[in-house]
Structure 1
Amino acid sequence: MTSNDLGDFLRARRARLRPGDVGLASYGARRVAGLRREEVAVLAGMNSDYYARLEQGRERSPSPQILDSISSALRMDDEAREHLFRLAGTVPEGVRPRPRETVGSALRQLLDGYPNAPAFVLNPATDFLASNALADALFSPFESVDNLARMTFLDPAARSFFTRWERAAEAVVAALRHAAGLDAHYRNLHDLVGSLAGESEEFAALWSSHTVYGKTRDGKELLHPDVGPLSLTFQTFDVRGASGQQLVVYQAEPDSPSAQALALLGSLHATRHQGSATER
């Protein structure tokens, strides 16, 4: 996160659009990708010098009306628009409680109530706060199950575990961007971004692209060394009463090969766990 996150975000969004995407004709050679600042200003119905000051960080207090116009001009979806508003400081600090880093006993019991589905709890920095037995089995190929972003970019197992690694990598960075817009001063997230940007060029490139979205449901194509390919869907739920926590539940289609593979994975994990306990 930089001192001009708003300007960086606007430039990144502008670079994604071509004149034809927004109904404009293209004239002359373009030195940079995407729309020109003047074109965004025209689309947003504002002075081009004012828009330039926004991108340069010389204007930091745009009105909600200005932000609405810019978000429409740059074809932002709801989540990107929300991120834009928060970067501009239109949400007063202190309104959003700090993320809670501990999981209550009732939520842990709920996790264990999904014996046939991997379920786990993440904070906004994608730290694993709790997981059930099948989630432990699912992520067992990783050296450490501590932070989903670090696992995705730094653990060698991720490249084979996520069969569509590029998509998984983009999704986790986009979720981090979304979380940063909700709370730019969250220390865990700030430290994670700084660390990963220094350790992974791929993370740094994705972070600088300013892609932002939160996931509530999607598909996952995984390859587990013990049971083979898994085609799963997942649902994400905000945890009421525990700010920042998200419950993630993976599921397989009933009676599908992936469901059978998950059942086998759970059985293998339980057998190994019992064997380890016996040895002790």
Structure 2
Amino acid sequence: MDGDLGDFLRSRRARIQPEEVGLPSHGRRRVPGLRREEVAQLAGVSVDYYIRLEQGRGAGGAARTKSGGVSDAVLDAIARVLHLDETERAYLHTVARPARNPARPAALRVRPGVQLLLDTVEQAPAFVLGPRLDVLAWNTLGDAVTGYSRMTSEERNIPRHVFLDPASRDLYPEWPAVAAESVAYLRLYAARHPEDAKLCALVGELSLRSEDFRRLWADHLVKEKTYGVKRIQHPEVGLLTFPYETLALPSESDQLLVVYTPEPGSETAERLALLGSWATSRTG
């Protein structure tokens, strides 16, 4: 998306205080964090070069690669100055040198073998996320916890559900963290698929309808969806605490298998067993 590189660099230098990088903090500053010339100095590039990079006007000189892009050395130096973590560093490389022929988003369906895998996971809720965090498939327990089968295909999108469905704030006791996580992953996806028209439409819709989304999108957070803990306030059985693991499906780009793994013998496991028995009786 246009402006991603400049927005990202500005947001990251704004969070670094001068004293963190050994610079004096006295004097009047018109912007929070580091100035552009300070980033350039610390990264070992010219001020003009860095300004051109941040403004998206390209950068000339010896720091370009033979193919015309910004060199790894320059990007790594900027990442060091801005204290980027591994995910942010990879994101910087991606948005600074977008692919000429970006990969096409994954299909909005799962292979029969993946659905069979989901169905064999009987003790844990599991589902598959696709492009733009669309929910593509789920197992019985996953449906018992989330109710995906009762939603329309449009509603089965994590960011749309989180930001546009008021019930999501009751469903997720830690709603701010869930909201931030969903936006941070969308940012990564946007860098990999800058020409995805459906993503642009989704971001546009959420930006118009949700002030929270606009704020988080402007923060330019980036984060992989890997593992963590999700808490869900289920309307029938109460609070469920799920450690979760996310696995990329190697044969399908941008499809993620997410499995909630309740602690054996925990209150959540007992409540999940109750939900499972109800789901079986309703479908039996």
TM-score computed with the length of structure 2 as normaliser: 0.90
Give the conservation status (yes or no) of the 8 Å contact 2:104–2:193. no
SS at match of 2:131: coil
User: How many matched pairs?
Assistant: 272
Deviation string for 1:158-185 (max 9, x for gaps)?
Answer: 1011111000000000000011112212
Instruction: Name the residue aligned to 2:58.
Output: 59
Q: For residue 216 of structure 1, report the CA deviation from its aligned partner.
A: 0.9
Q: Whole-Å Cα distance in 1 between the matches of residues 34 and 248 of structure 2?
A: 36
Instruction: Name the residue aligned to 1:110.
Output: 117
SS at match of 1:41: helix
SS at match of 1:125: helix
Q: Whole-Å Cα distance in 2 between the matches of residues 65 and 30 of structure 1?
A: 29
**1:16-95 aligned within 5 A:** 16-59=15-58, 61-89=69-97, 91-94=99-102
Structure 2 segments unaligned to the other structure (5+ residues):
60-68
How high is the sequence identity, in percent, across the aligned residues? 44
Give the conservation status (yes or no) of the 8 Å contact 1:141–1:224. no
Give the conservation status (yes or no) of the 8 Å contact 1:118–1:250. yes
Q: Whole-Å Cα distance in 2 between the matches of residues 22 and 116 of structure 1?
A: 50
Instruction: Name the residue aligned to 1:278.
Output: none
Give the conservation status (yes or no) of the 8 Å contact 1:142–1:158. no
TM-score computed with the length of structure 1 as normaliser: 0.91
Deviation string for 1:213-246 (max 9, x for gaps)?
Answer: 1121001122111111111111111112111111
Residues 171, 99 of structure 1: CA spacing in aligned structure 2 closer, same or farther, 3 A cutoff?
same
Q: In the alignment, residue 257 of structure 1 is paired with which amino acid?
A: E
Q: Whole-Å Cα distance in 2 between the matches of residues 167 and 98 of structure 1?
A: 26
Q: In the alignment, residue 42 of structure 1 is paired with which amino acid?
A: Q
Q: Whole-Å Cα distance in 2 between the matches of residues 171 and 142 of structure 1?
A: 23
Give the conservation status (yes or no) of the 8 Å contact 2:129–2:136. yes
1:125 pairs with one of 99, 112, 132:
132
**1:114-153 aligned within 5 A:** 114-140=121-147, 144=151, 146-153=156-163
Give the conservation status (yes or no) of the 8 Å contact 2:127–2:258. yes
Instruction: Name the residue aligned to 2:186.
Output: 176
Structure 1 segments unaligned to the other structure (5+ residues):
275-280
When structure 1 is superposed on structure 2, of 98-107 and 229-238 the one drifting more is 98-107
Instruction: Name the residue aligned to 2:217.
Output: 207
Q: In the alignment, residue 23 of structure 2 is paired with which amino acid?
A: L
Q: RMSD value over aligned CA atoms? A: 1.8
SS at match of 1:107: helix
Instruction: Name the residue aligned to 2:167.
Output: 157
